[in-house]
Amino acid sequence: MTARLTEEQLDEILQRDFTSSFRRGYVKVKGFTMPKRFEELQDEIHNWDVRNEDIWICSFPKTGTTWTQEMIWMIVNNLDFDGGQVNLGIRSPFLEVSALYDFRQLKKDIPDFEVPPFLDDSLKFVKDRCKIGPQCIKSHLPWDLLPRELQASIKSPKIIYVTRNPKDTCISYFNHSRLMEGYRGDFNDFCELFLAEKCK
């Protein structure tokens, strides 16, 4: 099944209903719709120094990534339940989250607004975490936007890909977007964006 709306109609819905205080528009990158901030981080992600000892947990949003991150981190860390009390965003950092949630304007608008380092500058945070040992790294990027060393098999870390029934994924993503990302439209419009691969 494909979206029934034109590209222009879909872009209008995206700009109207999916722009929030931490997302300032969208761009096409290698055929994928991404938040505008991704352009700033694209080269650094493309040239990322991939390490064989890391584990990459890759998925489309709302497919079971968090469950998988938690399971993998626990297995890798010998069921360290005490260590497991630390925020999952620290234990299993989300590589490109700074491109999805750009808090720079909020920090200017709201005095004393503090953003956790793993959200504020996620690439720096992951690099710093890699200095202390092997990491479980989360990414929602499509294959074509992942680091070049992964795509070209120059490095070969473990990659765990998570998938889920598309209908369940769409409904879960709609609810997440309304709650967490400021989506203001209805489900029908969201479904059209989802089918056209414009949700990120």
List, for residues 19-60, the tens digit of each pLDDT value. Answer: 766 777 888 999 898 989 999 999 999 999 999 999 999 999
Q: Is the pLDDT of residue 3 over 70?
A: no
Task: Tell me which DSSP letter residue 9 carries.
Answer: H
Asked whether 160 and 55 are in contact (CB, 8 A), the reply is yes
Say if 17 falls within a structural domain.
yes
Question: How many domains, in total, are found in the chain?
Answer: 1
Which residue is listed with tokens 């060393």? 149
Nearest Cα residue to 9 out of 189, 197, 200: 189
Mean local confidence (pLDDT), 96-110: 82
Q: Which residues make Cβ contacts (< 8 Å) with residue 198, sequence separation at least 6?
A: 10, 11, 14, 26, 33
Q: Would residue 91 count as lying in a domain?
A: yes
140: annotated active-site residue? yes
User: Catalytic one among 140, 145, 173, 196?
Assistant: 140
CATH classification at residue 54: 3.40.50.300
Does residue 172 lie in a domain region?
Answer: yes
Q: Which of 128, 129, 141, 153 is nearest to 50 (CA)?
A: 153
Residue-wise DSSP of 64-127: SHHHHHHHHHHHHTTT-TTGGGS-HHHHS-BTTHHHHS--HHHHHHSTT----HHHHSHHHHHH
Contact indicator for 107, 113 with CB cutoff of 8 Å: yes
On average, the pLDDT of the chain sits at 90
Res 134 pLDDT > 60: yes
Quickly state the pLDDT bin for 165 (edges 50, 70, 90): very high
What's the full length of the chain, in residues?
200
pTM of the prediction? 0.90
Residue 177 lies in a domain: yes
- pLDDT tier for residue 2 given thresholds of 50, 70 and 90: low
- Residue 2 within any structural domain of the chain: no
Contact predicate 184/81, CB 8 Å = no
pLDDT at res. 54: 97
List the domain range (segments joined by +) for residue 106: 7-195
Residue 1 falls inside a structural domain = no
